[in-house]
Amino acid sequence: MADSSFDIVSKVDHQEADNALNQAAKELAQRFDFKNTGTTIEWKGELGVEITSGTEERAKAALDVFKEKIIKRGLSLKCFEAKDPRSSGKEYKIDGTFKAGISQEQAKKLGKLIRDDGPKSVKSQVMGDELRVSSKSRDDLQAVQALVKEADLDFAVQFVNYR
């Protein structure tokens, strides 16, 4: 029997991120506490987000609204990183980015976790920005998935290509 396998990746669903941004923009336009503050949220590049407001407090509140929408759309907050507010003339801006891909260091950390705490028949190998996990037993693969979900990682993970 051939080995079963799956890949561990860290990706951002662009459609869900776009939906979260649009919902946040709509709420910022409608809410009374954001009236006449010039608060906006928009895409800046492929994975970047920029929040602009007249005051630092409103910019931080807009960031909270956006994070709330990210959670509601089923995305992990571990994949979104926001910088501190910066003054830009009369406005305050907050830049944020969505992180995608598993770095070599993170892949090594995951591989070590699987080797040390996972079932012995499981093999893992780094393939670019993802980690392939294989074994003869599907039960062992499910145990590895449970192990990775339980681990307190500093990045979001998804499981794809389960065969």
Residue 66 one-letter amino acid: F
User: Under CATH, domain 14-98 is a member of which superfamily?
Assistant: YajQ-like, domain 2 (3.30.70.990)
Residues 11-44: b if buried by 16+ CB within 10 A, e if exposed: bbeeeebebbbebbbebbeeeeebeebebebeee
How many whole angstroms separate alpha carbon 8 and alpha carbon 143?
A: 14
Q: pLDDT tens digit string along 42-70?
A: 999 888 999 999 999 999 999 999 999 99
Domain 4-11+102-160 falls under CATH 3.30.70.860: yes
CB 77 within 8 A of CB 67: yes
Q: What percent of the chain has pLDDT over 90?
A: 44
Q: How far, in Å, are 11, 58, 63, 66, 143 from residue 111 at the CA level?
A: 18, 42, 34, 33, 14
Ranges of each domain in the chain: 4-11+102-160, 14-98
Q: pLDDT tens digit string along 19-30?
A: 999 999 999 999
Going residue by residue through the chain, which has 163 residues, state the pLDDT in tens, using 9 for 90 and above.
568 888 889 888 899 999 999 999 999 999 999 988 889 999 998 889 999 999 999 999 999 999 999 999 999 899 999 999 999 889 999 999 998 888 888 888 898 898 888 888 898 888 888 889 999 988 888 989 899 888 888 888 888 888 8
How many whole angstroms separate alpha carbon 18 and alpha carbon 23?
A: 9
Torsion sign over Cα 134, 135, 136, 138: negative
Residue 150 CA to its chain's centroid (Å): 17
Full-model pTM: 0.83
CB 40 within 8 A of CB 52: yes
**Half-sphere exposure of residue 155: CA atoms within 13 angstroms, side-chain side:** 21
Helix H segments across the chain?
14-30, 56-72, 104-117, 138-150
